[in-house]
């Protein structure tokens, strides 16, 4: 049985002071956090350490990106061991904003996923088609390529504990979420493709999330789908009330 997972991706939002205020508010509501859902927040790097100290224990830390090398002359980058030292347990790889704006290719993303898994942290491989790819009927082809290459450095055991987030680019930050049926269709196929390449145990264990304009009032329709194990949420994860409401909706929908 796969545990449900709710991840908040803060992107480039919140100073340390703002992150602390969020964590304190969440602390006051911690009695409402469900025990049967894994909860993860991915703040900017600068807020990782302050959050580790004050976040409720039920909420784990994630990072939004990492460099694939352990150290070196890579000005401005942060490595997996550096994040691990701060208590980070999950790391996103290949978020569409990284792919579009910072040149993360499928091959680069594969190396990031490899580095994260080798450190025994959980890679969260982000995949998804853009509007033009969807309109031209290439969704399956694009997503399959991203999944195949992104996971290709991992053995079946590492795939089983990894996370994949399906985030159609046109749904991110637009208020225009995919329908639950469309998300289930693509995510069901992702699980099938993983079965083809990595075997049944990996496919049954890997958790696959939906992301793109998820909010408290639509999250349960996604997590009620048979292959959708949770959500990766941007904008709606910035407010503590909304984060708790989504956690509760996932717990109820996933029971």
Q: How far apart are CA 215 and CA 169, in angstroms?
A: 16
Footprint on residues 154-173 left by ligand PGA (CB under 6 A) = 167, 172-173
Footprint on residues 63-92 left by ligand PGA (CB under 6 A) = none
Residue 95 a catalytic site member: yes
Which residues face 208 on adjacent strands? 164
Site string for ligand PGA, 110-139 (x = CB under 6 A): ------------------------------
Burial class (CB in 10 A: 0-12, 13-18, 19+), 82: middle
**Binder to ligand PGA among 64, 213, 221, 225 (CB under 6 A)?**
213
Angle at 196 between CA 114 and CA 154, to 5 degrees: 10
Give me the catalytic one of 67, 95, 97, 133: 95
Q: Looking at beta carbons only, is 167 or 227 nearer to ligand PGA?
A: 167
**Binder to ligand PGA among 186, 203, 220, 232 (CB under 6 A)?**
232
Q: What is the DSSP letter of 3?
A: P
211 binds ligand PGA (CB under 6 A): yes
* Tokens standing for residue 226: 């048979």
Q: How far apart are CA 231 and CA 156, in angstroms?
A: 23
The residue ranges that bind ligand PGA (CB under 6 A) are: 9, 167, 172-173, 211-214, 232-236
Active site residues: 95, 167
């Amino acid at each position: 049985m796969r545990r449900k997972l709710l991840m908040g991706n803060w992107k480039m939002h919140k100073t340390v002071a703002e992150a602390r205020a969020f964590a304190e508010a969440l602390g006051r509501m911690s009695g409402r956090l469900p025990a049967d859902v894994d909860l993860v927040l991915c703040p900017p790097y600068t807020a990782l350490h302050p959050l580790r100290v004050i976040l409720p224990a039920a909420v784990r830390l994630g990072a939004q990106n990492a460099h694939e090398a352990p150290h070196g002359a890579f000005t401005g980058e942060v490595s997996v061991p550096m994040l691990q030292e701060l208590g980070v347990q999950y790391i996103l790889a290949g978020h569409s904003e990284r792919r579009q704006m910072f040149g993360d290719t499928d091959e680069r993303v594969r190396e990031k996923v490899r580095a994260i898994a080798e450190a025994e942290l959980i890679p969260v491989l982000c995949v998804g088609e853009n509007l033009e790819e969807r309109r031209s009927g290439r969704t399956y082809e694009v997503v399959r390529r991203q999944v195949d290459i992104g996971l290709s450095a991992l053995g079946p055991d590492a795939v089983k504990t990894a996370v994949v987030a399906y985030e159609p680019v046109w749904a991110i930050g637009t208020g225009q979420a995919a329908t639950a049926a469309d998300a289930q269709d693509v995510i069901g196929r992702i699980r099938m493709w993983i079965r083809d390449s990595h075997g049944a145990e990996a496919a049954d264990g890997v958790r696959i999330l939906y992301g793109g304009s998820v909010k408290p009032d639509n999250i349960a329709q996604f997590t009620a789908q048979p292959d959708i194990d949770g959500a990766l949420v941007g904008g709606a994860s910035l407010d503590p009330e909304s984060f708790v409401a989504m956690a509760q909706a996932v717990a109820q929908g996933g029971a």
